[in-house]
């Protein structure tokens, strides 16, 4: 029994010395040829879920959107201004004299929301051979039995809004922050912000196949 304890004691001492020994390996740079020799044994299965202004039940979160201006997406197109006047066209020469640069205009998506659930994306590595030269690629694959789910994705209304001050001057309120005005009618637009179109999409999208992403040099015809 005593010999057994001595043996265990020596074994633990050896393990302790090994664990405390300094160990370091310097990193080495790999060129394209070296990278081609690297192989992997397994990929990864990914699942993603995007939730925008929604509750866990995939409906509009009225707490987050208590101020409707916080649930908008505003896009300003280049050189889109308006000062309340129209361009002038010379009937004889056809020359157009644009109106003075006025207030910036915005395309505003109001009540933007949605939940997108992607239950499966396969992430793997694969070689692509082009002109007898292999290229390492990232492969993304999809399972048709695990469709992408869209739940109440869209916006309640779309409108064109205008800044309050020309040339974005002092005291300007951007068009995308225009105070909310609700429509008091019936149907889809009831109690929604005023606009000229709305969209809401719920459904499944089943995909099959794969996408391969790879890098290439300037000589490659697709680069």
How do residues 28-73 score in pLDDT, each as one tens digit?
Answer: 787 878 877 777 667 899 999 999 999 999 999 999 999 999 999 9
Cα–Cα distance, 82 to 117 (Å, whole number): 41
In the numeric block, which tokens belong to residue 64? 């987050």
pLDDT for 16 equals: 54
What are the sequence ranges of the domains in the chain? 44-80+106-214
Side-chain half-sphere CA neighbours of 176 within 13 A: 15
Residue-wise burial string across 140-175, b where 16 or more C-beta atoms lie within 10 A, e elsewhere:
ebbeeebbbbbbbbebbbbbebbbeebeeeeeeebb
Average pLDDT score over residue span 161-175: 89
DSSP code per residue over 38-55: ---S--EEEEEEEEESB-
Is residue 4 scored above 80 in pLDDT? no
Confidence of residue 146 (pLDDT cuts 50, 70, 90): very high
pLDDT for 11 equals: 52
Helix (H, G, I), strand (E, B) or coil at 50: strand
Is the full-model pTM beyond 0.85?
Answer: no
pLDDT for 36 equals: 75
Is residue 141 scored above 90 in pLDDT? yes
Is residue 18 scored above 90 in pLDDT? no
């Amino acid at each position: 029994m005593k010999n057994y304890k001595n043996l265990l004691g020596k074994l633990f001492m050896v393990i302790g010395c090994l664990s405390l020994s300094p160990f370091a390996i310097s990193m080495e740079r790999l060129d394209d040829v070296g990278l081609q020799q690297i192989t992997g044994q397994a990929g990864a299965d990914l699942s993603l879920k995007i939730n925008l202004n929604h509750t866990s039940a995939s409906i509009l979160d009225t707490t987050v959107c208590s101020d409707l201006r916080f649930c908008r997406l505003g896009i300003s197109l280049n050189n889109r201004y308006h000062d309340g006047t129209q361009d002038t066209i010379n009937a004889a020469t056809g020359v157009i004299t644009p109106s003075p640069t006025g207030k910036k205009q915005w395309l505003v998506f109001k009540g933007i929301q949605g939940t997108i659930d992607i239950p499966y994306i396969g992430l793997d590595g694969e070689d692509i051979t082009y002109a007898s030269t292999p290229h390492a690629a990232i492969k993304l694959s999809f399972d048709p039995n695990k469709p992408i789910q869209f739940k109440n994705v869209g916006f309640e209304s779309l409108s064109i809004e205008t800044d309050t001050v020309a040339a974005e001057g002092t005291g300007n309120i951007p068009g995308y922050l225009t105070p909310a005005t609700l429509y008091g009618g019936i149907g889809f637009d009831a109690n929604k912000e005023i606009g000229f179109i709305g969209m809401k999409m719920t459904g499944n999208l089943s995909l099959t196949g794969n996408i391969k992403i790879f890098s290439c040099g300037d000589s490659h015809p697709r680069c």
